[in-house]
Structure 1
């Protein structure tokens, strides 16, 4: 019996990197590569009605950026997971990608077998970030956090960091639940864990303590 594989799309403008990904995923037992493109516009033209379980997308694309693409994909197909795959380590870009609906942010120096494992983790309900990326997201909240506050934030899981990012962005518990396909009660459970790890008691305290300075 042949196991069904997840459908994967890739947007990557550098041919040498795309070729490497094509060669690797061509022999994958977990993924079927259904669409590749060199730009967001090219991808949007080609993507009709076919199911895409996960999009692996560069940020620094010609034309529309990967962040704009994430917004587009999540609004066309909320169930499609988007993982940013890039050399960029800019904390503002990372934060914007998470707010756009990306479920992960991985650097291009991630070994391909590990990349595949991380993508499967996303499809099983997880959220992934390279360790260095997670630290940069923490820096986006407030670059002037003292060592004690930074240590508190570093205890958060990638999913909890995403939830904090959405709360910072003004999203409601219902919007968080809809993004992650979980119940509002589950969101509240995550938030209780976040409050415990950060030693705070309310959303207002979270925003005031960890907000990014204007």
Structure 2
């Protein structure tokens, strides 16, 4: 997230990192961009509300003392509006897709931190996501499977409509959704129109607010770390 200062927009980044050398390395990478203010997260209670609201969290899963899912749950309590990026060793697209159900907004392989970290922070803090197309395809398919199994109540949606809506929930543009699903952008718009008509929603926000909680907590993939 961005906070204004005299020099322009400032990105607040908090690192959740257990290893001192790794923390120093991440801080060094982020310090290359003067628009980023990064620090190691010590005690969230020491932060003011604006600092907890307008921030991006970078979580290194290597060496966490608790499961990643529990770490992210606790962070959401302190940073309800923050956006998060997870760093970890090489993972399959399927495993990374599972992390999307935990509410993360980006994933970076440890090997790619040097090249990707600063760009990912800018993308995620600006409301975007940082995932490969393959990850988002797996995420869309897993969402469709869950809806088809009856674990969420989005009634009368086709499998393709479910794939579209799962990707739109990640704040992807219609063009990005079209590229991932290999369909035309006009087809994405057509599916969205049908979805909102079926759900009697007047906006994307209305549609997601009604369904997000149930779809999240009923998802068995949340327990598949």
Question: Cα gap change, 1:115/1:98 in structure 2, threshold over 3 Å: closer, same or farther?
Answer: same
Question: Paired residue for 1:12?
Answer: 17
Q: Which SS does the other structure have where 2:116 is aligned?
A: helix
Call closer, same or farther: CA 1:62–1:121 in 2, change over 3 Å: closer
- Which of 58, 65, 68 aligns to 1:66? It is 68
Count of aligned pairs between the two proteins: 166
2:68 and 2:103 map into 1 onto residues whose CA distance is: 11
Following superposition, the deviation at residue 158 of structure 1 comes to 5.1
TM-score, scaled relative to structure 1: 0.57
- Alignment pair present for 1:28 and 2:52: no
Change in CA separation of 1:12 and 1:47 when aligned onto 2, cut-off 3 Å: same
TM-score w.r.t. the length of structure 2 is: 0.55
Q: Distance in 2 between matches of 1:64 and 1:47?
A: 22
Shift of 1:191: 8.0
* Preserved CA contact (<8 Å) 2:123 2:129: yes
Deviations 1:134-177 (CA, angstroms, capped at 9, x unpaired): 5xxxxxxxxxxxxxxxxxxxxx465555444444454657x959
Q: Which residue of 2 aligns with 1:81?
A: 83
Q: Is the partner of 1:117 in helix, strand or coil?
A: helix
Stretches of structure 1 that go unaligned for 5 or more consecutive residues are 135-155, 203-211
Q: Which aligned pairs between 1:171-210 and structure 2 lie closer than 5 A?
A: 180=170, 190=177, 194=181, 196=183
For the pair 1:119 / 2:124, whether they are aligned, the reply is: no
Q: Which has the higher contact order (CA 8 A, sep 6+)?
A: 2
Q: Which runs of 5+ in 2 are unaligned?
A: 1-5, 155-161, 185-190, 192-220
CA RMSD of aligned residues (A): 4.0
